[in-house]
Structure 1
Amino acid sequence: MQTIIKREGLKRSKFHAKRKETLATLPKYEARAVARFVRISPRKARSVINSIRGKNVSEAFNLLEFSSKKAARIVYNVLKSAVANATNNLGLSEENLYVAACYVNDGPRMKRVWPRGRGRADIIQKRMSHITVIVRDREKENETKAK
């Protein structure tokens, strides 16, 4: 027979409470998606991210689909996830969505050793990225600004 131990007085971290407050203050016409620890250099990902900022979702999908860069495939999936969050969780229509904000932050770096001549060694830094895409509904945003 198992006994259930009740723990009283335990609180979650301050970070959790702060994050919960932040999510509660987000507007109801905004959805986001984040891909963390992606194995691509932030500099290379930013070149793709900058090309879709401010564009309609359908236009952004077209740009990413026909881009030959590796980062385009990753950003495409993040954008697809943000659109799915907007349609499924908030009930927004995909036609009115646009990329309100998108950015790439540095993630951790994996450090590898590259042997060189005369017994020396160089360090190779394999960089990671955190990619965030935020989509908004243009019509609902204009309605709230008009009020």
Structure 2
Amino acid sequence: MTNPPSERTLTYAEDLRLEDVRALETFLNVQLGRVYEEVGETGETSFAMQSLLILVCDSAGLLYALLAVERPETWQRAAIVREWQRLRSTAHAFNHCEGYDHDRWWNQVRYFDASDETAEHDRIRRFADVGPYPETRD
């Protein structure tokens, strides 16, 4: 079975749309709902499943709010990347499920945008050139 070509590829967190979050949240809720049905409504595993469902909804809710910000501040940009990665890594465990489209919604985003990526690479280069503690050099 081959997957149809993906609609688009996510490169940066700024490429995320509400529809992307909604689709990933829905996918996770369906998959976790199936597991929850198998587990039942009592016992420690059931409580863990309820907690996981709540965390997925909370992460998605935070993403919805952050994506609505017109010009996100640095901490908001970092939170968008982090929350997307959190949902993405949760969905990754269900990679074997029919209908999984790894090119569309689950792309790993490490940076908010191209300038964020460039700044991080520059910081790494400076760190490599100078070292962690430049004041201790002879």
When normalised by structure 1's length, the TM-score is: 0.25
Larger Rg: 1
User: Which TM-score applies when normalising by structure 2?
Assistant: 0.26
More strand by share: 1
**More helix, by proportion:** 2
Which has the bigger relative contact order, CA under 8 A and spacing at least 6?
2
